[in-house]
């Protein structure tokens, strides 16, 4: 294993599509890949070619991933094994780690760069282990060589015995010191890896921080103001109750009670609003598979419209974008996976705001940024349309925008995965459709169609 070479990767997975996609992407990333359609063939390939890294699924016929882990660990304990599996339970991950897996990646893999990142870290780790082993071997060889020389000298000069003893102690101390340094380096690498994992989990929510803060601040202001009002009303009520009872007195007490009732309703309403925002963020932060729920579509759309708007405004207070909504009241509750569909909504709305912002930076006062979001019931389908008067998309690029890693944004501004993930969520997961219409320099419209709840639920099953 040379530091400047690329490792050979053995991919063991009984799902041909997953195996092929991994091989294509990793090959394009400069890795040499070898495929095996099950655990038995994978072990045969392992013994034939001795790969540098192994990607293996857990659930496979004949020989499963745990058997592969066991045999490879026995034969080549330093070969990194990365489990990439749809068996996404904590128990599976713990058992795989205990069996010797370097890392655990959950299928489906939406971001292939995560796989490359894990492979590179495993490769660095393997090289470090090899370097450590070679260094220890070098020291052992040096000790053996020197010891032999000293033994030969002892035959001639017994006086060299004390020098040999001193030299051996020095070498032992050097070995212990170097071993300690390597252990400290490995510990630092582990800490750095943990920090990277946390940063990656927080990155997707980081851009929304300002919007979240603004959205929670509004209902909390209502709660605080009306709570203060309730305290004043209670004091007034106590004062009225201490007075001599009269018809006027009773009337005033009744009015204060009505105001208290209204105030507590307002507190409850805006407290629920703040709780809903927090629940939405918790929903986005969860890594597990979303569940089908019967919810109202329009509040979900409005929630992510507001978050996207306030996040964009937080970046540039001078950005005068307007967001207009036109929701069809005939649309009631529908069956969707809100955790996933909200990500698609947020991505598309963010793209619309970005397009208008880029045009605004060039046009300034001569341009009024506008984003329109509308819904409409169309027989057995529901239409959601996100329109903006931004920079638009060239016609020759319209048929590429849903391809993975394709982006029209400048380098460093986009990963090229957002719209491809939207396509998977809307088309493959919700059995709907999505397409874009655009005129360069004038507008862009993303049109989504979702089946009504009966069809969506049937498709999910």
Per the model's pLDDT, the better-predicted residue between 163 and 132 turns out to be 132
Query: Which residue in 343, 323, 310 sits closest to 210, CA to CA?
Result: 310
pLDDT tens for residues 19-57? Answer: 899 999 999 988 999 999 999 999 999 999 889 999 999
Residue 283 has pLDDT above 90, yes or no: no
CA 331 to chain centre: 31
Mean pLDDT, range 94-112, rounded to an integer: 84
CA 311 to chain centre: 19
Determine how many CB atoms are found less than 10 A away from the CB of residue 429: 19
Torsion of CA 189, 194, 199, 201, to 10 degrees: 140
Determine how many CB atoms are found less than 10 A away from the CB of residue 216: 16
Per the model's pLDDT, the better-predicted residue between 203 and 80 turns out to be 80
DSSP H or E segment with residue 135: helix 112-156
Q: What angle do CA 413, 418, 422 make, to 5 degrees?
A: 160
Q: β-strand 293-296 against 333-336: which pairing, if any?
A: antiparallel
pLDDT tens for residues 411-445? Answer: 555 555 678 788 888 998 899 999 999 999 899 99
Contact (CB, 8 A) for 355 and 388: yes
3-state SS class at 134? helix
Mean pLDDT, range 386-398, rounded to an integer: 91
Question: Which of 11-15, 158-162, 367-371 has the weakest average pLDDT?
Answer: 158-162
What was the pLDDT predicted at 2? 47
- For residues 45 and 75, give the distance between their C-alpha atoms in angstroms, rounded to a whole number: 13
Query: Which residue in 335, 301, 296 sits closest to 460, CA to CA?
Result: 335
Contact (CB, 8 A) for 363 and 457: no
The percent of residues above 90 in pLDDT, for the chain, comes to 21
E strand residue ranges, 357-414: 370-378, 381-388
Question: Which of 205-209, 369-373, 378-382 has the weakest average pLDDT?
Answer: 205-209
């Amino acid at each position: 294993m040379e530091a400047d070479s690329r490792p050979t990767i053995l991919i063991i997975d009984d799902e041909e599509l997953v195996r092929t996609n991994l091989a294509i992407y990793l090959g394009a990333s400069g890795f040499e890949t070898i495929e095996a359609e099950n655990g038995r063939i994978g072990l045969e390939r392992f013994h034939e070619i001795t790969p540098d890294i192994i990607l293996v699924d857990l659930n496979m016929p004949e020989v499963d991933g745990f058997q592969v882990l066991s045999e490879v660990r026995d034969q080549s304990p330093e070969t990194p094994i990365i489990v990439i599996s749809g068996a996404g339970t904590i128990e599976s991950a713990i058992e795989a780690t205990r069996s010797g897996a370097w890392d655990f990646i959950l299928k489906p893999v939406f971001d292939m760069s995560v796989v490359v990142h894990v492979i590179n870290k495993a490769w660095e780790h393997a090289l470090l282990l090899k370097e450590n082993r070679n260094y220890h071997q070098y020291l052992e060889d040096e000790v053996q060589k020197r010891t032999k020389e000293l033994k030969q000298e002892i035959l001639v000069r017994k006086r060299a015995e004390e020098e040999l003893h001193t030299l051996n102690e020095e070498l032992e101390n050097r070995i212990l010191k170097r071993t300690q340094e390597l252990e400290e380096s490995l510990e630092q690498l582990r800490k750095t890896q943990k920090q990277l994992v946390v940063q990656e989990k927080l990155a997707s929510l980081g851009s929304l921080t300002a919007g979240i803060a603004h959205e929670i601040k509004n209902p909390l202001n209502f709660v605080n103001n009306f709570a203060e009002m309730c305290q004043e009303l209670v004091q007034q009520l106590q004062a009225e109750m201490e007075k001599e009872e009269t018809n006027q007195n009773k009337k005033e007490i009744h009015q204060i009670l009505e105001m208290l009732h209204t105030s507590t309703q307002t507190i409850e309403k805006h407290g629920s609003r703040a709780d809903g925002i927090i629940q939405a963020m918790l929903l986005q932060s969860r890594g597990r598979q979303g569940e089908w729920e019967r919810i109202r579509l329009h509040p979900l759309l409005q929630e992510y419209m507001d978050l996207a708007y306030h996040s964009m405004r937080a970046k540039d207070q001078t950005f005068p974008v307007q967001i207009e909504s036109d929701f069809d009241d005939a649309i009631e509750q529908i069956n969707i996976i809100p955790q996933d569909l909200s990500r698609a909504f947020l991505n598309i709305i963010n793209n619309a705001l970005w397009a208008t912002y880029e045009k605004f930076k060039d046009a300034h006062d001569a341009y009024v940024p506008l984003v329109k979001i509308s819904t409409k019931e169309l027989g057995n389908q529901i239409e959601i349309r996100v329109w903006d008067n931004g920079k638009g998309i060239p016609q020759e690029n319209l048929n590429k925008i849903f391809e993975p890693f394709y982006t029209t944004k400048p380098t460093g501004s986009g990963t090229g995965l957002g719209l491809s993930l939207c396509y998977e969520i809307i088309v493959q997961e919700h059995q709907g459709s999505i397409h874009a219409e655009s005129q360069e320099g004038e507008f862009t419209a993303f049109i989504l169609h979702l089946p009504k709840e009966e069809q969506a639920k049937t498709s999910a099953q």
